[in-house]
């Protein structure tokens, strides 16, 4: 499979078949259909297999090593990967950092960092949220001072996904002493394996370690690792949050739950297919997921065109709440036996957090009210 092939020229059936065949031949069976997030030690080989064949970055331009998929084809890629049970990966470098570098980094930074992300040489985590600065990200307190051409960073990040496996972090830090809110913030890249950085695990509701706290005590990185101008990080952060909200709006989780519900309904022993009330709700769920797919495709296209605005918050709200409704229906359809096996509960737990991260859904509704509907704020 050539990394330079124009995947958009295949018809949908051909493309889906290629994705399915790729997963079947390249992804180890033990990694497929997991109900947990695996560690890098488990999925690093799969990450590198995707990279070798040019399949790792579906949304990146071909010129930067991506597949260059248009929005509809990108959605089909996500759906087929989910259908084939491809595992989650710590891919924040591909999903979040890569598009930011492509849009905002210098040529030297792109030439250095993008190949390292694609090769799997580096595993990235995101240093945004802090205690007291989650949805209100502009309240961050992690600061950096310039000393002899380096940034010396001290502070505390939290809810950092997969930081225990990360080799690098992209982070927002305050580089202008005394600045407030959005002013004086820079977007920086730094190594995790250095003195002054300590990672502490956070166990989630399912009892698994997924998030971390990261403590920085005079950690260092070169000023050359600031993306964009110093103190202009908020502008870059907003673009990343736009990318992140599109990814948070992926129909992947809702689709996976829907497929499992439909499989349960097809089992004669379940009796679900003979329950008119259940079939009515299942039909509505199918419509909800189809609406989500259509909305996702629209915003993915706007993202490609550089026209993404505040209205992307609507995608994040619809996707996360549709996924939650689907997970609740899956728990109900699974019955006692399904719950004992744990798969339905794992999906239920996994659907809770996305409505909180990347800005809570309450915050997203406020953004829509203020920036899209132009509604007045509190007097």
Is residue 230 within 8 Å of residue 223, measured between CB atoms?
Answer: yes
66: helix, coil or strand? coil
The CA dihedral of 114, 89, 84, 340, to the nearest 10 degrees, is -170
CATH 2.40.110.10 residue window(s) in the chain: 124-231
Among the ranges given (144-158, 181-195, 246-260, 277-291), the one the predictor scored with the smallest mean pLDDT = 246-260
What average pLDDT does the structure give for the chain? 86
Give percent of the chain with pLDDT exceeding 70: 90
CA angle in degrees (0–180, nearest 5) for 161-162-164: 130
The pTM of this model reads 0.76
Q: Which of 74, 75, 55 is nearest to 5 (CA)?
A: 55
Task: Report the Cα 301 to chain-centroid distance in Å.
Answer: 17
Is residue 192 within 8 Å of residue 167, measured between CB atoms?
Answer: yes
CA distances in angstroms from 240 to 65, 99, 184, 316, 367, listed in the order given: 20, 8, 18, 14, 16
Catalytic residue among 80, 82, 210, 244: 244
Residue 262 a catalytic site member: no
d(CA 360, CA 355): 6
Structure tokens at 238: 């907003």
What DSSP element (H or E) covers 155? strand 150-157
- Is 67 or 297 the better-scoring residue by pLDDT? 67
CA distances in angstroms from 50 to 26, 28, 57, listed in the order given: 8, 12, 9
pLDDT digit string, tens, across residues 92-124: 899 889 989 998 999 999 999 999 999 989 999
- Is 90 or 249 the better-scoring residue by pLDDT? 90
pLDDT digit string, tens, across residues 285-309: 999 999 998 888 787 777 666 666 7
Burial (CB count <10 Å: 0-12, 13-18, 19+), residue 374: exposed
SS3 of 305-349: the string is HCCCCCCHHHHHHHHHHHHHHHHHHHHHHHHHHHHHHCHHHHHHH
- Out of 31-45, 186-200, 239-253, give the one with best mean pLDDT: 186-200
- Is 205 or 365 the better-scoring residue by pLDDT? 365
269 pLDDT band (50/70/90 cuts)? Answer: low
Q: Which of 99, 177, 181 is nearest to 133 (CA)?
A: 181
CATH 1.20.140.10 residue window(s) in the chain: 249-372
The CATH number of the structural domain formed by 124-231 is 2.40.110.10
User: Which pLDDT value is given to residue 3?
Assistant: 46
Task: Tell which CATH classification among 1.20.1740.10, 1.20.120.160, 1.20.140.10, 3.40.50.880 matches the domain 249-372.
Answer: 1.20.140.10
User: Which pLDDT value is given to residue 230?
Assistant: 93
Residue 272 clears pLDDT 60, i.e. is over it: yes
Question: Region 308-336: what's the mean pLDDT?
Answer: 85
């Amino acid at each position: 499979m050539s990394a330079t092939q124009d995947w958009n020229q295949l018809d949908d059936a051909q493309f889906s078949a290629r994705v399915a065949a790729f997963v079947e031949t390249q992804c180890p069976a033990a990694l497929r259909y997991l109900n947990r997030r695996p560690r890098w030690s488990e999925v690093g080989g799969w990450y590198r297999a995707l990279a070798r064949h040019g399949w790792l970055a579906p949304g990146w331009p071909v010129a930067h090593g991506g597949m260059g998929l248009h929005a509809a084809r990108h959605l089909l890629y996500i759906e087929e990967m989910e259908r084939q049970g491809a595992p989650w990966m710590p891919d924040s470098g591909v999903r979040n950092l890569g598009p930011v570098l492509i849009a905002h980094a210098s040529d030297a930074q792109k030439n250095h960092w993008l190949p390292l992300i694609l090769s799997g040489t580096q595993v990235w985590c995101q240093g945004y949220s802090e205690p007291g600065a989650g949805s209100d990200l502009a309240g961050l307190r992690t600061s950096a001072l310039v000393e002899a051409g380096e940034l010396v960073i001290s502070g505390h990040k939290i809810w950092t996904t997969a930081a225990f496996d990360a080799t690098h972090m992209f982070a927002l830090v305050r580089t202008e002493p005394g600045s407030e809110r959005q002013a004086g913030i820079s977007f920086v890249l730094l190594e995790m394996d250095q003195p002054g950085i300590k990672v502490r695990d956070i166990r989630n509701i399912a009892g698994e370690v997924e998030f971390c706290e990261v403590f920085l005590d005079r950690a260092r990185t070169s000023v050359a690792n600031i993306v964009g101008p110093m103190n202009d990080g908020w502008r870059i952060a907003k673009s990343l949050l736009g990318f992140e909200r599109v990814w948070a709006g992926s129909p992947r989780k809702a689709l996976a739950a829907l497929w499992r519900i439909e499989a349960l309904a097809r089992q004669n022993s379940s009796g679900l297919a003979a329950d008119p009330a259940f079939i009515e709700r299942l039909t509505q769920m199918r419509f909800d997921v189809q609406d989500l797919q259509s909305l996702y495709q629209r915003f993915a296209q706007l993202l490609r065109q550089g026209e993404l605005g505040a209205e992307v918050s609507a995608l994040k709200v619809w996707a996360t709440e549709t996924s939650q409704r689907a997970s609740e229906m899956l728990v109900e359809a699974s019955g006692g036996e399904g719950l004992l096996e744990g798969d339905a509960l794992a999906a239920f737990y996994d659907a809770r957090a996305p409505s909180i991260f990347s800005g809570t859904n309450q915050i997203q509704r406020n953004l829509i009210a203020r920036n899209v509907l132009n509604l007045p704020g509190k007097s």
